[in-house]
Structure 1
Amino acid sequence: MKTNRRNFIKKTSFALAASTVPFSNIYALKPKETLGVALVGLGYYSTDVLAPALKLTKHCRLTGIVTGSPHKIPKWQKQYGIKDKNVYNYDNMHEITNNPDIDVIYIVLPTGLHAKYAIKAANSGKHVWCEKPMARTAIECQAIIDACKKNKVKLSIGYRMQHEPNTQKIMKWAKTKPYGDIQTVSARAGYYDPRENHWKLKKEMGGGALYDMGVYSINGIRYSTGEEPIKVLSASHSTERPELFSEVDETTFFKFEFPSGAIGRGWTSFGKSMNELTVTTKDGFYILKPFQSYSGVRGYTCTDEKLLPFKGNQQAKQMDDDSLSILNNTNVLVPGEEGMKDIVLVEAIYKSAKTGSEVKL
C-alpha cells in the first residue's frame, strides 16, 4: 500500500518533534523548484490556451491530465510528454493523491462542475486552481473554500487579469487615487457567440453571459473602486435570440452603489462585442481598452499617460505567480474568497433583474 504525501509529512513531523537531532542530520528533502500541474477538462481553454502557456512557465509544468474523452489522450501524451501513470479520468481522479508528479490540480470544466471537482481535488491533498467563475452559487464557493482549508491546500481562482500589469496599476490607483476620488466605473465585457448547442446555453451548467463574461465586468468594477458594493441598484436582461437564450441571459446590464457614493455600471453579452473599462474621478479619468483580452491590454489617462501592453503571456504569468505562492508558502493573489464575492453579486444581479427592484448586500 502506497503512503500518501500528507501521511508521510505528518509522520515525519511527529518524528522530528520527538527528536532533538537537527532535521538536516535526519533526513533532507530537496525542495521542489517547479510544480507539476494536472489539467482537468481538455476543452478549448486547456487545449489552446493553458497547455501552450505551461510551456512558457518557469515555476510549473504540465505533468498530468484528467479527461472523459479517451480519444484525446494520445495527442496530449505525444505533444506534452505525459506519462501513462499521469493520465486520469473523472472516476479515478482521486488516485492523484498518491502521485508525486502532480502538485496542483487545475479545474477547467463547465462552471456547473467546478464545485464537485474542485472539492475532489482538495480531498486528494493537492493544491487547487479553479477557473473563473468560481462556481454557480455562493454556497458552492464556500464548500470549495472549506474543502481546501480542511485539507490544508492552497486555492486560487483563475482571474488572470489581476496578474496583468496594467490591471494591477488600476488596482493600485483605487488606493492611491492619483486623479482624485473615484466617482464612476463602467465595465463592458462581451462577444458574439454563434454556437447553438453549447453548455453555456444551459442554466444547470452555469451558462449565461453574466457568469461567463459578466464576471470580468463585476470584478473590474470592484478592483477599480477598491470597494465592495452595498447594493445592486438595478439590473436587466435582454435578448435578440430568444430561441437560443431561453434558459440563460444573452445580454445583462447592472448598476452598483458603493459606500463612498461611487457608482458602478456593468454590461455583459453573448450577442455584442465589447471590451472596455472606464474610471471617472474628481479630477479626470483613465481607460483600459481592451481591458480583458488575452493580450494587448492597454489604456491611457486624462494626462495622456500611456498604459502599454504587457509583452508576456497572461496565463503563464498567472500560473507562475500562483506556483510561487505555493513554493514560498505565501498568500495567493486571488484566493477563493475573492471568487466568492463575485458570485454573491451574480446572484444579487439575477435577483434584481427578476424582481425589478434594488437588492441590498
Structure 2
Amino acid sequence: MEENKEQSAQRRRFIKGVTLGVGGIVLSSPIMSFMSASASGDNNNRKQLGIALVGLGGYSTNQLAPALQETENCYLAGIVTGTPSKIDDWKKKYDIPDKNVYNYENFDEIANNDDIDIVYVVLPNALHAEYVIRAAKAKKHVICEKPMATNVEDAKRMLDACNENGVQLAIGYRLHFEPYNKRVMELGQQQVFGKVKSITANNSSDMTSKKPNLWRLDKELAGGGSLMDLGIYAVQGAVYTMGEKPVAVAAKYGEVTKPTFFHDVEQSINWELEFEDGVKAKSNSSYAEEQNELSAEAENGWWNVSPAYAYEGKKGETSEGEMDYPNIFEQVNQMDSQAESFRNSEKSIVPGEMGLRDMKILMAIYESANAGGERVVIQY
C-alpha cells in the first residue's frame, strides 16, 4: 500500500540525514527470494532464527541486543539504522556481517537475506505501520514494539499485511513472559481468591528531568503522551487480570503542571475500565510522577505487585504472603517464545490481534477524555 503524505513526512523527518548506500550490502539470489519459516517451512530445522533490529535506540541497545546474547531460539543477525555512526560499533560488538546491515532506504532488500527470519520493529510509534508492512512484504515474521500503532486503522493494515503475506506478527508485550505478572493472570483468571471485585493499575514515570525534545513528547511521532507509552501497561494489566476485554471506559485528562514539556501530548490521564460483570479497573498514567502498581481485590483475598512493569526489581504479595519469584531477563523469554511460535507456524501468545484490541481500548480512552469523561462503549 502506498504511504500517504503524512506517513512519508514522518519517515523523512525521523531518518533525515540518512544517505543511500550506507551499509546494506545485501546477499542476493538470482534464483529465488527467501521465504519465511511459516511461509515455506524451510527453516524449521534451524536451531536459531535470525532477528534484525530495526532502530538502534535505547531499548534495542540496552535491552534487546543484550537479551539476544542469551536467547536459545533466536540470535541477533542484522541491524537497520539511519545513523551511520552506530554501524561499526554494532558490527564489532555483535559480529554482524556487512551483508546484514541495512538503512531505511534499502530496507526492502532484506527479503533476499536468508540470515534474517524475523524483523523486530523498535521505532517511534508512528513508524511502526510502515516498517511492519514492509517487513511482511519481504516475507519476514515481525515483532513490533508497543503500542502497535498510533491508530486503529494502521493496526488493521499491519495485521492484514502479515496475514496476506503468510507471516506471523507478535507485539513486544514482555510481561506475559515474566513470573510476577503471569501469577497475576492466574490469580485473576483462575479465581484463586474468588471473583475479582476491583483492580488498580497505575504506571507513570517522570519525564521532566529529561530534555523536552524527546520523540515521545511529539504527538506526530508518538500518537499521544503517557497513555500510549506507559498507560498501555496498565490497560494490559487490567485485561490480563480479568482474562477478558473491557466493555466501556470513562477517562479524564489530568492537570498540566509542566507546560514546557506537555504542550503537544497529555501529561497525565485517568481512566476507569468497565468489564462485563461490573468489575472496574481504575488507572492513571503520567509523565510527571512515579507510579508502578498492579493490584486487585477479590472475594476472599487480594494481591499487589509493585513495581509491576519495570524491567527489574519486581516485588509482590498476596493476602496469604509474599510472592517469591526470580527477577528474570524478560526480553530473553519473550523473544525465545516468539521465535519458537514462528518456527512452529503458531500464533504467539501476544499476537497482532492483541495489539489491535489494545489500540481500540486506547482510542476509546482518548475519546472519553476528549469528551470530558463521558462513558464510551468500546467497539471491537
Residue aligning to 2:115:
101
* Whole-Å separation in 2 of the counterparts to 1:296 and 1:183: 27
Match of 1:236 in 2: 253
Summarize deviations over 1:32-84 as a string: whole Å, max 9, x none.
11010000000000011110111111111001000011111000000000000
**SS of residue paired to 1:161:** helix
The whole-number CA distance in structure 2 between the counterparts of 1:259 and 1:9 is: 36
Change (3 A) 1:59 1:8: closer
Q: What CA distance in whole angstroms lies between the structure 2 residues aligned with 1:29 and 1:229? A: 39
* CA–CA distance in structure 1, aligned partners of residues 75 and 44 of structure 2: 18
Cα–Cα, structure 1 residues 240 and 122, in superposed 2: closer, same or farther, change >3 Å?
same
Partners of 2:79 and 2:100 within 8 A in 1: yes
User: Could you report, residue by residue, the CA deviation over 1:295-351 in whole angstroms, capped at 9, with x for unpaired residues?
Assistant: 1222111111x2224343101110001011122233211001111111111111111
Contact 1:296–1:309 (8 Å) recurs in 2: no
Change (3 A) 1:274 1:310: same
Deviations 1:275-305 (A, max 9, x none): 111101111211111111111222111111x
| Equivalent position SS for 2:205 | strand
Question: How far, CA to CA, are the matches of 1:183 and 1:90 in structure 2?
Answer: 48
2:353 to 329, 332, 337: 337
C-alpha displacement of 1:230: 1.1
Match for 1:240: what amino acid? T
Which deviates more from structure 2 when the two are superposed, residues 191-200 or residues 313-322?
Answer: 191-200
Change (3 A) 1:271 1:118: same
TM-aligned CA deviation for residue 176 of structure 1: 1.3
The equivalences for 1:193-342 within 5 A come to 193=207, 194=209, 195-206=211-222, 207-304=224-321, 306-342=322-358
> What letter is aligned with 2:73?
H
- TM-score, structure 1 length as denominator? 0.92
What are the ranges of 5 or more consecutive residues in structure 1 without an aligned counterpart?
14-27
Contact kept in structure 1, 2:142 and 2:170, CA below 8 Å: yes
Aligned amino acid, residue 113 of structure 2 = N
Which residue of structure 2 lines up, in the alignment, with residue 20 of structure 1? none
Whole-Å separation in 2 of the counterparts to 1:84 and 1:36: 15
Matched, 1:173 2:202: no
TM-score, normalised by the number of residues in structure 2:
0.87
Which residue matches 1:22?
A: none
Corresponding residue pairs, total: 345
Match of 2:138 in 1: 124
SS in 2 for 1:213: helix
1-structure distance, mates of 2:86, 2:233: 30
- The whole-number CA distance in structure 2 between the counterparts of 1:8 and 1:269 is 41
User: CA 1:172–1:59 in structure 2 vs 1: closer, same or farther (change >3 Å)?
Assistant: same
Task: Specify the alignment match of 1:4 in structure 2.
Answer: 33
Distance 2:31 2:327 in 1: 45
Maintained 8 Å contact 1:185/1:225: no
Q: What is the alpha-carbon distance in structure 1 between the residues aligned to residue 356 and residue 314 of structure 2?
A: 25
Indicate conservation of the 8 Å contact 1:40/1:108, yes or no.
yes
2:59 to 21, 45, 49: 45
Shift of 1:238: 2.5
Which of 369, 372, 376 aligns to 1:353? It is 369
Aligned with residue 76 of structure 2, among 55, 62, 73: 62
State the SS of the aligned residue for 2:35.
helix
The one-letter amino acid paired with 2:328 is G
Is contact 1:59-1:320 (8 Å) kept?
Answer: yes
Structure showing greater radius of gyration is 1
Gaps of 5+ in 2: 1-29
Cα distance change on mapping 1:7 and 1:41 into 2, 3 Å = closer
Relative to 1, partners in 2 of residues 1:29 and 1:344: Cα closer, same or farther, differing over 3 Å? closer
Q: Judge conservation of contact 2:304–2:318 (CA < 8 Å) in 1.
A: yes
Find 2:101's aligned residue among 87, 96, 100.
Answer: 87
Contact 2:314/2:327, CA 8 A, preserved across alignment:
no
CA distance in 1, matches of 2:104, 2:360: 28
Provide the residue aligned with 1:19 in structure 2. none
One-letter identity of the residue aligned with 1:274: Q
- Residue 186 of structure 1 aligns to which amino acid in structure 2? T
Q: Distance in 2 between matches of 1:126 and 1:284?
A: 46
For residues 43 and 340 of structure 2, the distance between their equivalents in structure 1, rounded to whole angstroms, comes to 18
| 1:104 and 1:127 in contact (8 A); partners too | yes
